[in-house]
Amino acid sequence: MTTAPQLPRLLAAPGPGLAEHHLQFGALPDAAGQDLIPLLEQAGLSGRGGAGFPTARKIAAITGPKSVVVGNGAEGEPLSRKDAVLLTQAPHLVLDGLDAAAAAVEADTVYLYVHSAAVPAVTRALDERRAAGLDRYRVAVVEAPDRFVAGEESAAVRRIEGGPALPRDRTVLTAISGVRGRPTLVNNVETLAHIALIARFGPRWFRSVGDQADPGSLLITLSGALNNTGVIEVPTGALLTSLIERNGGTDPRTVRAILVGGYHGSWIPAKAFEGSGLSRAGLKALGASPGAGVIHALGVGECGLARTAEIASYLAEQSARQCGPCRNGLPRLEQLLNDLAYTRVSDSLVKEIRRIVRLVEGRGSCRHPDGTARMIRSALGAFATDVEHHRHRRCEATSVSPAVSTARP
């Protein structure tokens, strides 16, 4: 009998092959999809793609004939590598979860939507499963373009249909009308991998680690001003200071702030995150969430306003340009954030940034403007002392020149 792993869980197998996968985890139960929804409800699994929606409720919302299931591994977030690591190191765990989810909703069609870098690993895994007679569903692999918004749910559907990987203005939920008008379930690949483990080892095992309000483990990508970077698996609720010190190999005193959740996440200053854990409950008081599982550290020698301006420029360039907030609001915020970082600050400048943030939020065709607004609003709070220093052509960053230049980065 296979022993259930504690940590690491998702990355426990010694290699990506089918034999190594079965040696570590055993075979997926034949009836994995039959009682999947109550199992997931008992486990308390939330989505690992960013939104954190309860997985059982998402699957239960799929009703009607000829449903479609999509495994989403597009990973357009520049600071995230977790999906790519999972798809290359444990592709069969993802495919098991895809199989179980498809069985649970009696799917007619199954897709795996992944970044180009993961296509070879996924293709090899599918070939192995076909040779072993494990291909209950014929999985079609669709390559996702290297674009920030390509992983948005409606963008994935649009790409699978043969169109551009851009969000569409949704008036009907994907669960009701997705790929070619059929009920469609879209789950992040890490969520699918957790589903595969819960189907094997059960809810009690899943809940044996992590924050009980949001249990289990999650993959996170460490980056920025840390000595150790890369993808690790940790229990939900892991202390942020511990992630920096133990996993990142860095003295927390050398970190000014962290960006949690990715480019659509929130900046948290070092003085605020001590004692906080990486879970939705643990970050709620800070106005943040784990998002896509990103911890990006800003060093004491880096200007938070300059880094925020750089991210805002990227997000403006990566927008779909299909609605007013993306066509007009995000480019305007890009300009204003660059002014904030590289010219003398005034009250009117800060007020204008806050005004445009309010204008774009909640008015876009997709959530891209909302995520951008959230990141910028958090920066104004986290780097409030930088704003004051920039008023006097100084910068709190310890190893950079005062922000007196009018040049753009």
- CA pair distance 39, 30, nearest whole angstrom: 15
Low-confidence ranges of the chain (pLDDT < 50): 399-409
Contact between 270 and 252 under an 8 Å Cβ cutoff? The reply is yes
- Alpha-carbon dihedral of residues 42, 52, 227, 89, nearest 10 degrees? 70
Q: What's the DSSP call for residue 277? A: B
Q: Please, what CATH class does the domain formed by 18-208 belong to?
A: alpha beta
The CA-atom distances, in angstroms, between 407 and each of 42, 330, 340, 347 are 55, 20, 12, 21
The reply to whether CATH 3.40.366.10 applies to domain 217-299 is: no
Q: What's the DSSP call for residue 163? A: S
Segments of the chain assigned to CATH 3.10.20.600: 217-299
Segments of the chain assigned to CATH 1.20.1440.230: 304-392
Segments of the chain assigned to CATH 3.40.50.11540: 18-208
The predicted structure's pLDDT at residue 404 = 34
Contact between 136 and 99 under an 8 Å Cβ cutoff? The reply is yes
The predicted structure's pLDDT at residue 400 = 44
The predicted structure's pLDDT at residue 403 = 38
- CA pair distance 323, 169, nearest whole angstrom: 9
Question: What are the tokens at 223?
Answer: 């980056």
What is the DSSP secondary-structure string of 60-83? Answer: HT--SSS-EEEEEE----TT--HH
Whole-structure pTM value? 0.94
From first CA to last CA, the distance across the chain in angstroms is: 58
Give the distance, in angstroms, between the CA of residue 203 and the centroid of all CA atoms in the same chain.
23
The predicted structure's pLDDT at residue 408 = 31
- Diameter over CA atoms, the chain: 69
Question: What are the tokens at 401?
Answer: 């020149």
Question: What are the tokens at 32?
Answer: 């994995």
DSSP bridge partners of 110: 69, 139
- CA pair distance 235, 85, nearest whole angstrom: 18
Fold of the 304-392 domain: de novo design (two linked rop proteins) (1.20.1440)
Contact between 341 and 309 under an 8 Å Cβ cutoff? The reply is yes
